C-alpha cells in the first residue's frame, strides 16, 4: 500500500493538472466567445463573470452532497469526466451560440443588453462544465481529508490548483493555442480531465482513512477507501457527544471535523469569545462567508484594475496578459501555501485582522508601483533587450512590483478563511462558492462601472478603503494605524491614467474608458496625434496625407463607388477623405467609444459634409455579420497585428463575412503594416484574403521604408477596373482638388505602388482561421518573428513581385506596359536608396536616387528627394550640392527646376 506522503503528493499533482485545465478553459472560452460576442471589454468581462458564476454555483450547490457522501473520490472523478466531455461538446456549442448572440445583440447593442447576452449565454452553455469545476476542488479536499491525511490541507491544495493555473496560462499562449488552435487545445485539456479522474480512482484504491486508521475494514466500493466501523454501507449516522454537540459519523469529510475544531479550541491564546464563536456561533460563520465574498470582490477587482492600468505601460500582446496573470497566480499560490505554515497557533481573529490590514497596505503600495512602472519598464527593457524572453521578463518584473505582495496576502487570506469555514462545516465548498461570487462581481462592478467613472487612482482608493473596513472583530491601535496608513498612501497617489509626453508635447484631451485610455497629443510643430494606452499611435494630422491615401486608392480602383464601409476609424481622417468622391456615402466602425469622443480634435482634417458619413461604435467582426447593407468598397484599417485581440481581424471567416457584404463588382482592401510583420505572417494574411476572394492584388500605400504599408485588394472580378474608367474617375467634379495634395492626379501616380497578384506572397501558406489565429501570436514575438529592420518584409515582397499591369487592368497596350515597367524600376531604386541611407551608405543612396530619377518621368520621388537634399547642402557643402543639381539636370533635362535652383543657390564663381 502506498504511504500517506506519496498519496498526498499524488493528490496535489492531480489538482495541479486540474488547475491547468481550468485556467486553460477560461482563457480559451473567453477568447472563443469574443469572436461572436465582440471584442469590447464589457463583453469579455461578462464572459469571465459567467465562468466564475458557474464555478460558484457548482461549489455551493454540490457542497452538501459531496460532504455527506462516503465516496468523494467518485464525486471528483465524475466531475472531471463531466468537465472533459462538456469541453469537447463546447467545440460545437460555442460557434452555435455565437450565431444566436449575433441575432440577439444586433449592430450596436446598448451596454446593458450586451452585458446580459454576454453573461447569460456563456453562463448557460458552459454551466455543466463550470459547475463541475467549482465542485471538483471541494471533492478533492474532502477525499484527501478523509482518506489521506487528517491535517490541514486547504492551503496546500489550493496552492497546487493555482500553480496549475500558472501552467495553464503559459502553456495556453506558448503551446496550445498557437500550435493546436482552440479546438485542438480544448480537446487536449479534455483528455487531461479524464486522466485526473482515472488518477484519483487509482489513488482511492490505495487510500485509507487517517482519522480511523486501523479501525475499519477495507471498503471494496470504488473511491470508498476504508469504511469506519459501524457505518454499514456508508449511511450517515448522527450521534450526540457528551458535550451535547452533534457528531456526524461516517462521511469522510465529517470524521475529521471535530479534530480540526479541537485544534482551534486548543489555542490557549485565543480569547474565550473567539473560542465560543468557533464552537458553533452561526453568526461567526456568516462573518467568515461575508469576508470571503468581500475579499473575492476586492482581490479580483485589484487584478482587473491593475491589468487595465498596466495596458498603458506594457506591450499589450497576448504574451503580456500571460506574464501579468502568471505573476498574479504565483503570488496567490505562494500565499495559500504559506498560510498554513506561518502563525499556526495565532488566534484566528488576530490572524485575519493582520492579513486584511496588510492587504490594504499592499494594495496602496501596488498603486505606487503602478506610478513608477513606466520608468521601471523602460529601464528593464534597456537592460534585457527586445527578445521575447527579455520582454516577458521585463513585463513580469513590473507586474510583480504591482501584484506580488497583494496576491501573497490574498492567497493566505483565502486559505485561512476557507480552512476556518471547513472546520465549522466539514467541507470547503461553501467558502469557495462565496469567494467566487465575489470574483464574479468584480469585473462588472469595478472594471465596467467604477473604473470608467472614478478613474484609476480613486478606484484603487476604493479597494484600499474596502480592505480597511473589513474588521473580523478584533480591533487594536496597531491595526488602526496600519489601515489608516494604507488610506493615506492611497489618497496621496497621483493620477494613474497619466499620458506619457515627450519633450515639446502637450496634452489636448484624454479619455479613460473601460478598455482603453485615449489621448490627443499636440507636438511643438502643432501636429495632433491620437495615442491609445500610451503605446499605440493611431494616426494624426502629420500623417493625414497617408491616411487620405488609404481611402482614395481603393476607391479610385472601383469604377463607380456609392456606398463605402471603413472598419476602424481612428482619427476619422481616412473615412472623411472618402466623401471627396462625388455621391459616396460612408459608414465607419470604431471599437473604442473614447476614440470617437476625441475625433473633434482632428478637425478640419476629418471634415465630412453633413449626411455623408455615419459613425458607428461597434465591434468590426460583429458589424459585418449583422448588417444587411451592401457596399461597393470595404476598407479595413491598419490593425496592429501584435495587439491582443487583433488576430481575429485577419482570419478567413472574417474575410468571408466581408465578402458577403460586398455588392456586385465590389472591392475590398486590407491595409497591412509591413514594418510589424515578417514574410511568413504576411503570407498567412494573404492566404486568408485569398480564401475569401478569387482575385487578390497587392499595392503599396506609398514609397517609404520607415513605415511601409501594403494593401491587399480582394475582388470577385479578375479586372476590377479599366484604364479608361480610371481616367474618367479622375475627372469627376471636385475630386482632383482633393487628390492634388496627395500626388494622385494621374493613372501612373495611382498605380505606381502596384506589386502584382497577391498569390506571389502565398508560396503554400495556409490561411488563418477563427480556430487557429497564428498572426496574433507570431506578430507578438518580439525579435523572433518580427523584421529586424522595418523594411525587411518590404524588400522581401519586392523580390517576389512579378508586376505586370495587365493583371489588374484589361485594356493596357504595349506602350502603357513599358511606361509602367519604367515606373516600377524607378520606384524600386528609390526604395533601395532609402534603405542604403538608413544603413549609412549615403553615396550609394544618392546614386540610387539619381538612377530612379532617370528611369521614369512618371515617378518623381527620386528627383524630388535629391532636389530637397541639394537645397539643404547648398549652404554648407556647395560643391556637393552642385554635383547633385548637375546629376538631376542630366537625368531629367526637360525639367527646369534643378537648373534654376543650381544657378540661384550655387552659381559658378
Residues in Cβ contact with 327 at an 8 Å cutoff, skipping those fewer than 6 apart: 396, 399, 400, 403, 404, 407
Using CA atoms of 327, 331, 337, 342 in order, give the dihedral in degrees to the nearest 10. 160
Calpha distance 306→399 (Å, rounded)? 9
3-state secondary structure of 284: helix
**Model pLDDT, residue 148:** 64
| pTM attached to this predicted model | 0.88
Using CA atoms of 850, 855, 860, 866 in order, give the dihedral in degrees to the nearest 10. 0
Do 284 and 384 form a contact (C-beta atoms < 8 A)?
no
Cell of 831: 526604395
User: Residues of the chain whose pLDDT is less than 50?
Assistant: 1, 210-250, 255-280, 783-785
Calpha distance 247→238 (Å, rounded)? 6
DSSP string, 593-606: HHHHHTGGGGTTTT
Compute CA distances 754 → 246, 797, 806, 809, whole Å: 85, 12, 11, 11
Calpha distance 688→682 (Å, rounded)? 10
Cell of 637: 484599417
**Model pLDDT, residue 342:** 61
Do 626 and 106 form a contact (C-beta atoms < 8 A)?
yes
Calpha distance 86→125 (Å, rounded)? 9
Calpha distance 332→155 (Å, rounded)? 10
Do 234 and 250 form a contact (C-beta atoms < 8 A)?
yes
**Model pLDDT, residue 106:** 76
Calpha distance 591→351 (Å, rounded)? 47
**How many Cβ atoms are within 10 Å of 907's Cβ, its own excluded?**
9
CA 806 to chain centre: 43
User: How many CA within 13 A on the CB side of residue 197?
Assistant: 19
Using CA atoms of 702, 705, 707, 708 in order, give the dihedral in degrees to the nearest 10. 50
Compute CA distances 256 → 66, 345, 502, whole Å: 15, 19, 64
Do 24 and 171 form a contact (C-beta atoms < 8 A)?
yes
Calpha distance 589→518 (Å, rounded)? 17
529-547 pLDDT per residue, tens? 999 988 788 889 999 999 9
DSSP string, 201-245: HHHHHH---GGGTTTSEEP-STT--EEPTT-TTT---EEE-TTSP
DSSP string, 820-882: HHHHHHHHHHHHHHHHHHHTT-HHHHHHHHHHHHHH-SS--HHHHHHHHHHHHHTTT-HHHHH
In residues, how long is the chain?
909
The candidate with the shortest Cα–Cα distance to 103, out of 170, 175, 36, 148, is: 36
Compute CA distances 183 → 12, 93, 100, 771, whole Å: 28, 12, 20, 7
**How many Cβ atoms are within 10 Å of 378's Cβ, its own excluded?**
13
Amino acid at each position: 500500500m502506498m504511504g500517506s506522503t506519496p498519496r498526498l503528493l499524488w493528490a496535489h499533482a492531480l489538482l495541479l493538472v486540474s488547475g491547468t485545465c481550468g485556467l486553460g478553459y477560461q482563457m480559451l472560452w473567453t477568447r472563443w466567445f469574443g469572436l461572436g460576442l465582440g471584442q469590447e471589454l464589457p463583453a469579455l468581462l461578462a464572459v469571465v463573470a459567467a465562468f466564475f458564476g458557474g464555478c460558484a454555483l457548482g461549489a455551493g450547490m454540490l457542497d452538501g452532497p459531496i460532504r455527506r457522501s462516503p465516496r468523494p473520490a467518485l464525486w471528483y472523478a465524475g466531475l472531471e469526466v463531466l468537465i472533459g466531455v462538456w469541453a469537447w461538446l463546447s467545440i460545437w456549442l460555442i460557434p452555435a451560440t455565437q450565431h444566436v448572440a449575433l441575432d440577439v445583440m444586433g449592430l450596436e447593442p446598448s451596454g446593458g443588453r450586451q452585458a446580459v447576452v454576454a453573461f447569460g449565454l456563456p453562463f448557460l452553455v458552459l454551466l455543466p462544465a463550470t459547475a463541475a469545476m467549482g465542485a471538483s476542488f471541494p471533492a478533492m479536499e474532502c477525499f484527501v481529508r478523509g482518506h489521506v491525511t487528517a491535517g490541514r490541507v486547504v492551503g496546500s491544495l489550493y496552492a497546487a490548483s493555482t500553480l496549475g493555473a500558472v501552467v495553464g496560462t503559459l502553456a495556453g499562449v506558448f503551446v496550445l493555442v498557437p500550435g493546436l488552435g482552440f479546438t485542438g487545445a480544448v480537446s487536449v485539456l479534455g483528455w487531461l480531465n479524464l486522466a485526473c479522474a482515472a488518477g484519483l480512482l487509482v489513488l482511492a484504491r490505495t487510500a485509507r482513512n487517517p482519522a480511523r486508521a486501523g479501525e475499519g475494514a477495507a471498503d471494496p466500493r470504488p473511491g470508498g477507501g476504508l469504511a469506519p466501523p459501524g457505518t454499514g454501507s456508508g449511511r450517515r449516522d448522527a450521534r450526540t457527544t457528551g458535550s451535547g454537540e452533534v457528531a456526524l459519523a461516517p462521511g469522510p469529510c465529517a470524521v475529521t471535523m471535530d479534530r480540526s475544531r479541537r485544534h482551534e479550541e486548543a489555542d490557549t491564546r485565543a480569547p474565550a469569545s473567539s473560542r465560543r464563536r468557533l464552537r458553533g456561533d452561526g453568526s461567526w460563520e456568516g462573518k467568515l462567508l461575508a469576508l470571503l465574498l468581500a475579499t473575492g470582490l476586492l482581490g479580483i477587482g485589484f487584478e482587473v484594475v491593475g491589468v487595465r492600468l498596466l495596458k498603458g505601460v506594457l506591450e499589450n500582446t497576448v504574451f503580456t496578459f500571460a506574464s501579468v496573470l502568471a505573476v498574479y497566480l504565483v503570488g496567490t499560490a505562494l500565499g495559500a501555501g504559506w498560510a498554513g505554515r506561518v502563525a499556526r497557533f495565532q488566534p484566528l481573529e488576530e490572524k485575519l485582522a493582520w492579513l486584511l490590514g496588510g492587504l490594504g497596505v499592499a494594495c496602496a503600495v501596488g498603486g505606487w508601483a503602478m506610478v513608477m512602472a513606466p520608468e521601471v519598464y523602460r529601464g528593464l527593457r534597456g537592460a534585457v533587450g527586445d527578445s521575447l524572453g527579455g520582454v516577458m521578463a521585463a513585463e513580469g518584473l513590473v507586474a510583480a512590483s504591482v501584484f506580488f505582495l497583494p496576491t501573497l496576502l490574498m492567497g493566505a487570506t483565502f486559505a485561512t478563511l476557507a480552512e476556518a469555514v471547513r472546520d465549522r462545516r466539514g467541507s470547503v465548498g461553501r467558502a469557495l462558492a462565496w469567494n467566487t461570487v465575489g470574483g464574479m462581481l468584480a469585473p462588472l462592478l469595478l472594471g465596467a462601472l467604477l473604473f470608467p467613472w472614478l478613474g484609476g487612482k480613486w478606484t484603487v482608493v476604493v479597494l484600499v478603503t474596502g480592505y480597511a473596513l473589513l474588521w473580523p472583530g478584533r480591533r487594536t491601535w496597531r491595526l488602526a494605524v496600519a489601515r489608516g496608513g494604507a488610506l493615506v498612501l492611497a489618497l496621496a497617489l497621483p493620477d494613474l491614467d497619466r499620458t506619457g509626453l515627450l519633450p515639446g508635447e502637450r496634452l489636448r484631451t484624454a479619455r479613460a474608458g473601460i478598455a482603453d485610455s485615449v489621448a490627443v497629443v499636440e507636438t511643438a510643430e502643432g501636429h495632433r496625434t491620437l495615442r491609445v494606452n500610451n503605446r499605440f499611435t493611431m494616426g494624426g494630422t502629420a500623417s493625414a496625407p497617408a491616411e487620405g491615401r488609404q481611402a482614395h486608392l481603393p476607391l479610385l480602383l472601383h469604377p463607380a463607388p456609392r456606398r463605402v464601409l471603413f472598419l476602424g476609424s481612428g482619427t476619422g481622417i481616412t473615412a472623411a477623405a472618402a466623401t471627396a468622391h462625388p455621391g459616396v456615402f460612408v459608414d465607419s466602425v470604431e471599437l473604442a467609444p473614447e476614440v470617437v469622443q476625441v475625433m473633434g480634435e482632428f478637425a478640419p482634417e476629418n471634415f465630412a459634409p453633413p449626411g455623408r458619413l455615419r459613425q458607428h461604435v461597434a465591434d468590426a467582426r460583429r458589424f459585418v455579420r449583422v448588417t444587411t447593407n451592401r457596399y461597393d468598397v470595404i476598407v479595413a484599417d491598419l490593425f496592429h497585428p501584435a495587439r491582443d485581440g487583433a488576430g481575429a481581424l485577419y482570419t478567413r471567416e472574417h474575410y468571408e463575412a466581408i465578402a458577403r457584404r460586398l455588392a456586385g463588382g465590389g472591392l475590398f482592401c486590407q491595409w497591412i503594416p509591413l514594418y510589424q510583420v515578417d514574410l511568413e505572417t504576411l503570407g498567412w494574411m494573404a492566404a486568408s484574403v485569398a480564401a475569401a476572394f478569387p482575385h487578390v492584388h497587392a499595392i503599396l500605400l506609398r514609397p517609404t521604408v520607415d513605415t511601409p504599408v501594403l494593401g491587399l485588394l480582394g475582388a470577385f472580378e479578375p479586372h476590377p477596373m479599366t484604364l479608361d474608367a480610371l481616367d474618367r474617375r479622375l475627372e469627376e467634379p471636385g475630386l482632383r482638388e482633393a487628390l492634388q495634395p496627395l500626388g494622385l492626379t494621374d493613372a501612373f501616380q495611382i498605380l505606381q505602388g502596384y506589386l502584382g497578384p497577391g498569390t506571389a506572397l502565398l508560396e503554400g501558406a495556409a490561411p488563418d482561421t477563427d480556430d487557429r489565429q497564428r498572426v496574433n501570436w507570431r506578430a507578438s514575438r518580439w525579435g523572433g518573428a518580427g523584421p529586424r529592420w522595418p523594411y525587411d518584409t518590404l524588400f522581401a515582397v519586392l523580390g517576389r513581385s512579378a508586376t505586370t499591369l495587365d493583371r489588374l487592368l484589361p485594356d493596357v497596350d504595349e506602350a502603357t506596359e513599358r511606361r509602367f515597367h519604367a515606373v516600377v524600376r524607378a520606384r524600386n531604386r528609390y526604395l533601395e536608396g532609402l534603405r542604403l541611407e538608413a544603413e549609412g551608405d549615403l553615396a550609394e543612396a544618392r546614386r540610387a536616387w539619381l538612377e530612379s530619377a532617370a528611369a521614369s518621368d512618371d515617378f518623381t520621388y527620386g528627383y524630388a528627394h535629391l532636389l530637397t537634399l541639394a537645397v539643404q547642402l547648398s549652404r554648407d557643402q556647395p560643391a556637393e550640392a552642385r554635383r547633385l543639381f548637375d546629376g538631376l539636370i542630366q537625368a531629367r533635362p526637360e525639367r527646369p527646376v534643378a537648373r534654376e535652383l543650381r544657378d540661384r543657390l550655387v552659381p559658378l564663381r
